[in-house]
Amino acid sequence: MLYSTLQIMSDPLPLPEPAEQPEFSWKILGILFLKTTALSFVFVAVLLFLTTLIVGVVAERKLTTFQTLTGVSRSELFSLAKEGWRATPRQTDGSITILLLGTDSLETRGDTPPLTDTMLLASINIHSGETTLLSLPRDLWSSAYQTKINALYAYGFEKTPTEPTRFVTDTIAEMTQLPINYTVVLSMEDVATIIDAIGGVRVDIPTSFTDAEFPKSDVDVTTETDPEVLYKTVSFARGQELMNGSRALEYMRSRHSQDENGSDGSRALRQQLVLQSMLSSLLTTKTMTNPETLAQLFTYYQDHLAEYLPMTDGIAIARLLRDADDDLSFESTSLSIFPDDSSGVIFHPPTTQTEGVWIYEVRDTQTFRQEIARLLGNTAE
pLDDT of residue 242: 96
Q: Which phi and psi (to 5°) does residue 264 adopt?
A: -65, -35
pLDDT of residue 381: 42
Dihedral sign from CA coordinates of 138, 141, 142, 145: positive
Q: In one letter, which amino acid is 4? A: S
pLDDT tens per residue across span 316-352: 877 777 666 556 666 778 899 999 999 999 999 999 9
Length of the chain: 381
Dihedral sign from CA coordinates of 218, 224, 227, 228: negative
Indicate the pTM of the whole model. Answer: 0.75
pLDDT tens per residue across span 51-106: 444 444 456 677 788 788 888 887 887 787 778 878 889 999 989 999 989 886 55
Percent of the chain with pLDDT over 90: 32
pLDDT of residue 37: 35
pLDDT of residue 46: 44
Percent of the chain with pLDDT over 70: 78
User: Strand pairing partners for 220?
Assistant: none
Q: Where does the pLDDT of residue 172 fall: very low under 50, low under 70, confident under 90, or very high at 90 and above?
A: very high
Mean pLDDT of 199-223: 87
All structural domains of the chain: 2-91+283-329 (no CATH), 96-189+332-375 (3.30.420.590), 200-278 (no CATH)
User: How far is residue 375's CA from residue 331's CA, in Å, rounded to a whole number?
Assistant: 10
Q: Which of residues 130 and 111 earns the better pLDDT score?
A: 130
- Give the end-to-end CA distance of the chain in Å, rounded to a whole number: 44
The DSSP result for 67-133, as a single string, is HHHH---HHHHHHHHHHHHH-----BTTEEEEEEEEE-GGG--TTSPPPEEEEEEEEEETTT-EEEE
Alpha-carbon separation of residue 179 from 140, 175, 209, 252, 381 (angstroms): 19, 11, 39, 29, 11
- Whose CA is closest to 120, among 276, 273, 332, 338? 332
